Amino acid sequence: MGYGKWSSAEYKSYRSSYAGKSRDEIFTSNKHRRMDPKLDPFRVGMRESRDSEEHPNSLAIGVFLDVTGSMGHIPHDLVANQLGLMMDTITEHGVADPQLMFSAVGDHRCDKAPLQLGQFESSTQLVNDGLSRLFLEGGGGDAPESYLLAWHAAARHTSIDCWEKRRQKGFLFTVGDDTSHSSFEGQLQQKIFGYDRAQTLSDRELLAEAQERYHVFHVHVGRNNAQAGNARVLNYWQPLLGKRFITLSNYKQLGKLVAMVVAIVSGSPVAEVVGKEDPALGRAVSEALIV
């Protein structure tokens, strides 16, 4: 819902407490090898980002992380090292009331927990808890993954005041290293979301729905996009998202990249935001935001 405030000092305490801890010690659902029931889309209904007296200009930011086998190190590094810089960068560039929702995607055709749906939060404790509550399932098929479930959830299972009150779009980032499935079958929608009836929807249909209320980006974490192994990935994402498909070679810069994109799209000058950053990161962000 977005109550409470972010504190850099409080995050430093969290970060110190994570030092030396394993992935399973931080992500407690891993110990039980199952999704936290609070994140189960079958039970969730709607996720809400709301204005309040404390946060009169809420801005919804959803980050959906691929938690299949090759990607589990990314949420670990985010919570242990990157959250402070991410939130500080957003607020330092004039976004006063960010509300961050961490969620997870896998493969809806084979995983036990193909979608974990977080909540929009503002406070240090709840943002940290929201990320560390994710179940890093591993698994996943050989290819592709289910990033289209993020678009489905954002389009049909969120209610955000930034759009509903001010016609200001929120932000939606999917993060991974593969293509998405091209369809979300009606039978699997019933299984995952508990619908009585549902028709199969395409990735393009769900993306278009999400884009009505969100600035949608996909961050491909992997080697340089000139690598031959990424041709299949590029051929899927670039026609779909154009420049809003961003390649990031260093996963340790993910939080900073998300923050920079939010800051620039929200009105901060590009030169001011990217000027002191790593040139490769600054270039990736700048190119993604050229209209």
Q: Band the pLDDT of 225: cuts 50, 70, 90.
A: very low
State what percent of residues in the chain have pLDDT above 70.
95
Q: What is the mean pLDDT of residues 44-52?
A: 94
Per-residue confidence (pLDDT) for residue 29, from 0 to 100: 87
C-alpha count within 13 angstroms, C-beta hemisphere, residue 205: 10
Amino acid at 265: V
Q: What is the mean pLDDT of residues 30-56?
A: 92
Q: Which of 209, 211, 229 is nearest to 220 (CA)?
A: 229
Q: What is the mean pLDDT of residues 33-61?
A: 94
Q: Which residue has the higher pLDDT, 121 or 44?
A: 121
Q: For the full predicted model, state whether its pTM sits above 0.85.
A: yes
Q: What is the mean pLDDT of the chain?
A: 91
Region of 175 please: left (phi>0), alpha (psi -120 to 50) or beta: beta
Per-residue confidence (pLDDT) for residue 61, from 0 to 100: 99
Element (H, E) at 48: strand 47-49
Segment 188-217, tens digit of pLDDT: 999 999 999 999 999 999 999 999 999 999
Helices 203-211 and 231-241 sit at what angle, rounded to 10 degrees? Answer: 50
**Which residue segments constitute the domains of the chain, with CATH numbers given?**
8-288 (3.40.50.410)
Task: Give per-residue burial for 82-113: e unless 16+ CB within 10 Å, then b.
Answer: bbbebbebbbebebebbbbbbbbbbbbeebeb
Give the angle 203-256-280 at the CA atoms, nearest 5°.
90
If you average pLDDT over each of 31-40, 42-51, 159-168, 224-233, which comes out highest?
159-168
Q: What is the mean pLDDT of residues 34-49?
A: 93
Q: What is the mean pLDDT of residues 275-289?
A: 86
Per-residue confidence (pLDDT) for residue 1, from 0 to 100: 58
Per-residue confidence (pLDDT) for residue 287, from 0 to 100: 84
Please tell me the distance from the alpha carbon of residue 209 to that of residue 193, in angstroms, as a whole number: 17
Per-residue confidence (pLDDT) for residue 223, from 0 to 100: 55
Q: Band the pLDDT of 141: cuts 50, 70, 90.
A: low
Please tell me the distance from the alpha carbon of residue 113 to that of residue 135, in angstroms, as a whole number: 8
Q: Is the pLDDT score of 224 beyond 70?
A: no
